[in-house]
């Protein structure tokens, strides 16, 4: 895939009022929106449907991880909202990934992209040891990305540090969605495996997920523009 990389704004808000107020300050078409667990539990599917109907590409980031039948049903429900992308945890295993794939493929109208989270960007090698996963984060990401490829998913969520590895092993058309992105000087917050927007693009990320550096900025639209500029310069546009 040689399409222009996209910027996805993570809307981790505790109310639809705050989320709407942020979205109203963004230029439509400049970025995509990500609705995660907090906002979804607070505001519900109607907000997601409203933004999708208004033309926003919405990444519904609920990271499903359960038995195959439950995940398939949840994916079907997510697809019915008209979202652009939905995700599951690759740790759910091959049968769960295959069930999710089949469910999303049944979507009658606009079929969302289906991606799998590999190793969370808040995890480092010590965390992996604590939960019993062998090897480095990069090795675990490689194994989980291979599972996602075999199940026919559209891409994975990984740290920018593993974007190149995923591209090399899974192919150019397999999407690399990278959270854990921080412009130079921004706070790390609870992230561990982070890199700059320029690094992520140079490493082959296809979509950058950025939350707090934008949502907590006094000028969110300006923060989006700065990140997009850095992405464009690195991509040589």
Nearer to ligand OMP, 109 or 221 (CB): 221
Residue 186 binds ligand OMP (CB under 6 A): no
List the structure tokens of 114: 């289906």
Q: Please report whether residue 209 would count as binding ligand OMP according to CB under 6 A.
A: yes
The string of DSSP letters for the chain reads --SPPEEEEE---SSHHHHHHHHHTSPTTS-EEEE-HHHHHHH-HHHHHHHHHTT--EEEEEEE-S-HHHHHHHHHHHHHTT-SEEEEEGGG-HHHHHHHHHHHHT-SSSPPEEEEE-S-TT--HHHHHHTT--S-HHHHHHHHHHHHHHTT-SEEE--HHHHHHHHHHH-TTSEEEE--B--TT---TT-SS-B-HHHHHHTT-SEEEE-HHHHTSS-HHHHHHHHHHHHHHHHT-
Convert residues 18-57 into a mask of x (bound to ligand OMP by CB under 6 A) and - (unbound): ------------------x---------------------
Is 86 a binder of ligand OMP (CB under 6 A)?
A: no
Q: Tell me how far, at minimum, the Cβ of 106 lies from ligand OMP, in Å.
A: 23
Residue 112 contacts ligand OMP per CB under 6 A: no
Which residue out of 11, 32, 63, 113 is catalytically annotated?
63
Which one of the spans 103-111, 137-145, 199-207, 210-218 is the region binding ligand OMP (CB under 6 A)?
A: 210-218
Q: Which of 73, 98, 212, 225 binds ligand OMP (CB under 6 A)?
A: 212
Q: Is 179 near ligand OMP (CB under 6 A)?
A: yes
Q: Which of 23-31, 42-50, 113-121, 228-236 is the region at the interface with ligand OMP (rule: CB under 6 A)?
A: 113-121
> Is 195 annotated in the active site?
no
- Binding residue numbers for substrate: 12, 34, 61-70, 121, 182, 191, 211-212
Active centre residues (catalytic): 63
């Amino acid at each position: 895939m040689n399409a222009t990389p996209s910027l996805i704004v993570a809307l981790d808000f505790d109310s639809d009022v705050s989320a709407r107020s942020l979205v109203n300050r963004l230029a439509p078409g400049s970025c995509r929106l990500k609705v995660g667990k907090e906002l979804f539990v607070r505001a519900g599917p109607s907000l997601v449907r409203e933004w999708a109907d208004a033309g926003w590409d919405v990444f519904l980031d609920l990271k499903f991880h359960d038995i195959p039948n439950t995940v398939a049903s949840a994916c079907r429900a997510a697809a019915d909202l008209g979202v652009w992308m939905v995700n599951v945890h690759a740790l759910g295993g091959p049968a769960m990934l295959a069930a999710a794939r089949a469910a999303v493929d049944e979507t009658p109208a606009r079929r969302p992209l289906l991606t799998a989270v590999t190793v969370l960007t808040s995890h480092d090698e010590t965390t992996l040891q604590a939960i019993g996963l062998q090897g480095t984060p990069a090795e675990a990401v490689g194994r989980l990305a291979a599972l996602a490829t075999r199940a026919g998913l559209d891409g994975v969520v990984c740290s920018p540090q593993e974007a190149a590895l995923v591209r090399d092993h899974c192919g150019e058309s397999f999407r690399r969605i990278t959270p854990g992105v921080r412009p130079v000087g921004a706070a790390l917050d609870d992230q561990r495996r982070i890199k700059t927007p320029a690094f992520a693009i140079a490493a082959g990320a296809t979509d950058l997920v950025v939350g707090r550096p934008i949502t907590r900025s006094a000028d969110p639209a300006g923060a989006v523009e700065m990140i997009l500029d850095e992405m464009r310069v690195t991509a040589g546009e």
